[in-house]
Amino acid sequence: MTLDEFKRMVEADFGPTAAGMLSELVETVGNLMANSKTDLSSAVYNAAQEMRDTLADLQRLGDDDLADEDTAEFDEELDDEIEGDDCCDGCLTSGRACSQTCPACGAVLCADCAAENEGRCAACVSNAEEEEGAG
């Protein structure tokens, strides 16, 4: 199985991998394969282990770790980041107004990238074309 086949399998079972933990999983698997020249099976195992470790760390968080005074500052930073998102996920150009999102995966797009692909990101357009070609 190739990395692309693995990605399609994950998307078939869980939906688009353009954001969130599935995106991290696929990206980590790809990086492991590229950087360590490991096979897909080992890369998936190692990436899944990293995710398990991260989830275990999250499960160990206690009330003291999540106190309101600590999270209030984080919430403010997160709100500022979301409001000030000016890097297009499509062309990766900073400094553009990115007020549009891909309806399929939620990628943040500038007006040029959204117009270029009828409101969708290039990855979703490519995936749709591949599905049409296969079907």
Domains of the chain by residue range: 3-59, 83-134
Q: Report phi then psi at 117, rounded to 5.
A: -125, 30
pLDDT at 82: 47
The 10s digit of each residue's pLDDT in 100-129 is: 888 888 888 888 888 888 888 888 888 888
Mean pLDDT of the chain: 76
pLDDT at 84: 45
pLDDT at 23: 77
pTM for the model stands at 0.40
Q: Report phi then psi at 32, rounded to 5.
A: -60, -40
pLDDT at 107: 82
Q: Which two tokens stand for residue 54?
A: 């991260």
pLDDT band at residue 99 using 50, 70 and 90 as cut-offs:
confident
The 10s digit of each residue's pLDDT in 51-97 is: 888 778 777 777 666 666 656 666 666 555 544 456 777 777 666 67
> Three-state SS string across 46-76, please?
HHHHHHHHHHHHHHCCCCCCCCHHHHHHHHH
- The label of the residue with tokens 């749709």 reads 128
List the one residue out of 94, 98, 100, 135 whose CA is nearest residue 119: 100
